[in-house]
């Protein structure tokens, strides 16, 4: 899931595929995630650990996992209730 905005924005009322593509990058999306993503996960009760792609996989393995170009991986867990 790419983070492509400074702040997450969403609008499920947008139904036109061309307008969705223009606003959200794909015609089947209704939001664009921003740098506030980790905070949004934490607000819902998740413990979030952020890893760089190179912390998890490198080279051909990273390519096979679709992790080309670096970025971050978010590991989320929730305590058992």
Handedness of CA 39, 41, 47, 48 (dihedral sign): negative
24 burial type by CB count under 10 A (0-12 exposed, 13-18 middle, 19+ buried)? buried
Q: What is the pLDDT of residue 29?
A: 93
Q: What is the pLDDT of residue 63?
A: 85
Per-residue pLDDT of the chain (81 residues; tens, 9 = 90+): 778 899 999 999 999 999 999 999 999 999 999 999 999 999 999 999 999 888 888 888 888 888 877 788 899 999 666
């Amino acid at each position: 899931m790419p983070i492509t905005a400074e702040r997450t924005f969403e609008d499920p009322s947008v139904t036109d595929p061309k307008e969705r593509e223009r606003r959200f990058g794909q015609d089947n999306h209704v939001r664009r995630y921003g740098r506030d993503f980790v905070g949004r996960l934490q607000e819902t009760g998740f413990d979030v650990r952020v890893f760089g792609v190179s912390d998890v996989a490198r080279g051909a393995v990273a390519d096979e996992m679709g992790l080309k170009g670096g970025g971050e991986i978010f590991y989320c867990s929730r305590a058992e209730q």
